[in-house]
Amino acid sequence: MNNTTCQSINFDFTSRFLPPVFILVFIVGLVANGWGLKSLLHNWKKLKIINVFVLNLGLADILYLLTLPFLMFYYFMRSKWIFGDTFCKITRFCFNLNLYGSIGFLTCISVYRYLAIVHPVRMMGRFTVTHSVAISVMVWLLVSVQSLPDMFYTKTSGNKPGKCYDTTNDTYVEDYLKYSLGRTLTGFCLPFLITLGCYGHVIVILCCKNTIDKVQKQRSLKLLLILIVLFSVCYIPYHVFKNLIVWSRVLSKQQVCYEWFNEVYIASQISRGLVCLNSALNPLIYLHGNEDIRSQLRQLLQRARQMFRHPPPADSGSVPMNQITDEV
């Protein structure tokens, strides 16, 4: 149902929903990524090909996590940005680097696993750590070039002072919709299809060949499950609802309104919270791809269990509770 005048959208949901999500992602993501990167760098000499992609995945997460405190403050203040237009653009640019960098490096991991399982003989000795470093540099360059046009769109609005749009203001929203659809196609759809094709073929090989080690089968299936969760929970909803909300803004500007605009807005904000979860979920790749990190985690959990089972003895010189009560 379309009307000549558009009903106002309730923006209060954003200030209630996003700050708690950002706080959770910031704490979990910073601890998990920091620990994962430290473990990878500690074993730098034993760095494997796949770990180069995992290392870059962690760097992309850290880059975004460092901008979250500013976004927390922004939404706590009910969408009042006080850090200026330039820093708003930098913050949004870091988000895009994290998002499409993560998708790019996850695609690299998928292609590498595909080649290692389906074409192990051809891969032997032909793909080195140097190659993976060169590919990682190319991914960063491609993602930067792809995200750079977003910096040229106005992120603040004259009629709504204090805003920091993750897209752009209403003046340029039609052009931004075209850019957003193009970036969705090149930055998400194509990598997603490549990842889907690689792991679809890997599943067929794992099911048909009995010569493949069971441990390798389990690791490949676990990685596939992690990627399915990341794409299904974090990436697919975000791209669907982001383009829908930009399209609804274009229609609203043309005074073409529908009842579903408010629902799409709420869904888009939920998807924004879900997409930032990738910075907290990506460390699962560390645990899957690095045996040293898994062994360190097991040792840490064993120590924690031992501490709870055998608490340290009480200090013999401690003051009894009744004596403390009497003295007070």
pLDDT of 326 reads 34
Q: What is the pLDDT of residue 220?
A: 72
Q: How far is CA 170 from CA 148, 173, 224, 253, 293, in A?
A: 20, 5, 40, 7, 47
DSSP secondary structure string, 162-184?
T---SS--GGGHHHHHHHHHHHH
Whole-number pLDDT of residue 283: 82
Contacts of 90 (CB under 8 A, 6+ apart): 67
Residues of the chain scoring pLDDT < 70:
1-10, 43-47, 157-161, 211-213, 287-328
121-172 confidence digits (pLDDT tens): 777 778 888 889 999 999 999 999 999 999 999 887 655 557 888 999 888 9
- Torsion of the alpha carbons at 81, 183, 286 and 211, rounded to the nearest 10: 170
The pLDDT, as a whole number, for residue 84 is 85
**Which of 116, 112, 243, 258 has its CA nearest to residue 189?**
243
The pLDDT score that the predictor gives to residue 79 is 79
User: Hey, what are 20's tokens?
Assistant: 């708690």
Place of tokens 């609005």: 157
Non-local (6+) Cβ contacts of 291 within 8 A are none
Cα three-residue angle 39-41-45, rounded to 5 degrees: 110
The arrangement of secondary structure in 12-292, i.e. its CATH architecture, is Up-down Bundle (1.20)
Q: What is the pLDDT of residue 160?
A: 55
What's the whole-model pTM score? 0.83
